[in-house]
Chain A
């Protein structure tokens, strides 16, 4: 009886605790006393560099958490597939770099840090924009360039921002010194927060990343540098781009951890370990998440000229992060098939509604073209394309 009450109260609590807009907890018709409230899973041991001890090799997952992770990852997946569809219909234009396949990275990281911690990533940012609190509606509307988008239609796919989320950065590698700078601010302000600075295997050879490693280690900045290694930098495989593909060791004097990026629990435990390490004032840490992207580099890349369809299919069938989580929950009696199906149906509806909004919302008006050039400035006039055209600019 006590168990059933706990589970029922968990149902209602999840509805409030869930960070994602539009998430609802549906009461399954099956009796809650049947479900296991939590289970412990053995996760892959992480390879370590300059560390005596690493992240925990077991992870405890509660039913609540499992459903939340599933819901978040499935939402990310469906959102990216919807973006793919809208791009092919030419409703989304410009750049569109999709994140499907890598959901466990974004979800695991968010699960292991606090909302008050900071995060910055490169251009494959839709997943992180979602986990950092922006609704699917605002993300899709930003992709379609409408005024209801999170950046009012002026940023697009690569430039979405939220509280303690600094984008979305188009220049490969530039986000890493920025992330180290955010970590400097955390240290300066003494607020016990950390900054997660992400980059890809393609960016991992950038000089400015090593400059950031040096200063972060020198000043013991609370920065977690994470390399999302999805095996390809655009069309170049890691073997063809990097003399050393041990990205977690590239920090040299900075300790490193290699993590299975397809397992959300592995990522979560690793990030928890790293965040504790940084908060203790021991300095930065480097993590490599081994992951995979199903789509090509961007929507203009079919993704099959530099890798085989069989390879993509194999990863999908053997290591898909969402399937892995689902199977864990089902086989441990932490959820039912019907329940998962209901969540899928709800998510589909959320995505559909968001897409409808993204298609029907009007574009920003032309007279807002030159707004937001400067902050806190009185309104001014801006030179147009010729000396006789003046445009208005408001802060």
Chain B
């Protein structure tokens, strides 16, 4: 049977080979965690581990996060490390990059990635290109994160997917996870990485629960950036996706399985 490959470009910078990392296991579930909490715990653990890490963005502190991803962090870490910014993306993204230049490890939250367009110059020209232009003298250990892509009826200006845009820029690592395990492991890896990372979440995934094993819940659980993963084994056709659409692929696979077509669902992260 001819294989029909559906490729959804996920925007990976400088990775030409998709490697199989592991098969998704149904190991004994320690706990059920949704993507929002996975991200929250990941940030909490990294803030605790390294005092150079701090979070800035609109409503991240006292409001507990526009989508509640940073709930509780301001109460725990205070004004110095969880910073509410005015609605000035270009300004605060630049400030975050400057702080990274000078030795801190900022997490810069965009309320949605649509607003990153106002700051895209700082992400690309100040963050992504600097290590190259300085021939290795100036690393930029920053994470930009926030919800990307489609949401629920928020209209065109608030629904753009930036995976392809950012994925084409050398110097940026672009991550677009689906499950809570991937979100957790990759956000921790991103914060520990000395390079600028664009972390694309999805608002509609925040509330979706996943089973996380004890191993995944360990505070040093990190996943390698740039390796893909097979979510569902199959033999007839491969579906490749990222972020929320992985769920649709799995649903489609379930439907097709009834007709005898076994789909492999690959996630490019």
Q: A155-B134, A185-B99 are in contact. Are A380 and B14 (CB under 8 A)?
A: yes
- A206's closest neighbor in chain B, by CB? B90
When chains A and B are docked, how far (Å) is the Cα of A148 from the Cα of B229?
43
Q: Which residues of B contact A153 (CB under 8 A)?
A: 135
Q: For the complex, count residues of A whose C-beta is within 8 A of B.
A: 51
Judge whether A118 is part of the interface by a CB distance below 8 angstroms: yes
Q: How far is the CA of A294 from the CA of B54 in the complex (A)?
A: 44
Flag if B86 contacts A155 (CB, 8 Å).
no
- CB within 8 Å for A181 and B194 given contacts A215-B85, A373-B131, A374-B173: no
Task: Decide: B86 and A218 in contact? CB cutoff 8 A.
Answer: yes
A184 at the interface (CB under 8 A from B): yes
Interface of A is mostly: mixed
Which B residues between 43 and 80 are near A, CB-CB below 8 angstroms? 54, 80
Q: Which residues of A contact B94 (CB under 8 A)?
A: 174, 176-178, 180-181, 208, 211-212
Tell whether, in the assembled complex, residue B102 and residue A211 are in contact, meaning their CB atoms are under 8 Å apart: no
Segment among B118-126, B143-151, B212-220, B249-257 that sits at the interface with chain A: B118-126
B136 & A174 in contact (Cβ 8 Å cutoff): no
Q: From the candidates B14, B95, B134, B173, name the one contacting A212 in the complex (CB within 8 A).
A: B95
Q: Contact: B170 with A167, CB < 8 Å? A: no
| Bound Cα distance A105, B9 (Å) | 50
Distance (Å) between the CB of A306 and the closest chain B CB? 27
**Cβ contact within 8 Å between B139 and A181:** no
Which residue of the partner chain, among A167, A180, A186, contacts B134 with CB atoms under 8 Å? A167
Instruction: Provide the residues of chain B in CB contact with A382, threshold 8 Å.
Output: 14, 16, 170
A199 at the interface (CB under 8 A from B): no
- The residues of B that contact A185 with a CB separation of less than 8 Å are 98-99, 101-104
Task: Determine the chain B residues whose CB is within 8 A of the CB of A256 once the complex forms.
Answer: none
- B177-231 contacts to A (CB < 8 Å): 193-195
- Does A307 lie at the interface of the complex (its beta carbon under 8 Å from any beta carbon of B)? no
Question: Could you tell me the distance between the alpha carbons of A343 and B173 in the complex, rounded to whole angstroms?
Answer: 50
Report A152-171 residues with CB < 8 Å from chain B CB.
Answer: 152-155, 159, 161, 166-167, 169-171
Known: A181-B100, A188-B104, A375-B131. A215 touches B91 (CB 8 A): yes
**Most interface-central of B92, B170, B195 (chain A CB within 10 A):** B92
Among residues 168 to 207 in chain A, which have CB atoms less than 8 Å away from a CB atom of chain B?
Answer: 169-171, 174, 176-186, 188-189, 195, 207
Minimum CB–CB distance from B222 to chain A (whole Å) comes to 14
Contacts of A180 in B (CB 8 A): 91, 94-95, 98
CB distance from B18 to the nearest CB of A (A): 13
B88 at the interface (CB under 8 A from A): yes
Bound Cα distance from A120 to B184, whole angstroms: 36
A151 contacts partner chain B, Cβ-Cβ < 8 Å:
yes
Cβ of A313 under 8 Å from chain B:
no
Take A188-B104, A208-B90, A382-B14 as given contacts and tell me if A395 and B136 are in contact as well, using a CB distance cutoff of 8 Å. yes
20 A-B interface contacts by CB (under 8 A): A151-B137, A152-B135, A154-B133, A155-B133, A177-B90, A177-B98, A178-B95, A180-B91, A181-B102, A182-B99, A185-B101, A207-B90, A208-B91, A211-B86, A219-B83, A371-B135, A372-B136, A373-B14, A382-B16, A393-B14
| Closest 5 pairs between A and B when the two form their complex, measured CB to CB | A181-B98, A177-B94, A211-B91, A185-B102, A178-B98
- Which B residues are within 8 Å of any A CB, using their own CB? 14-16, 54, 80, 83, 85-86, 88, 90-104, 121-122, 125-126, 131-141, 170-171, 173, 193-195
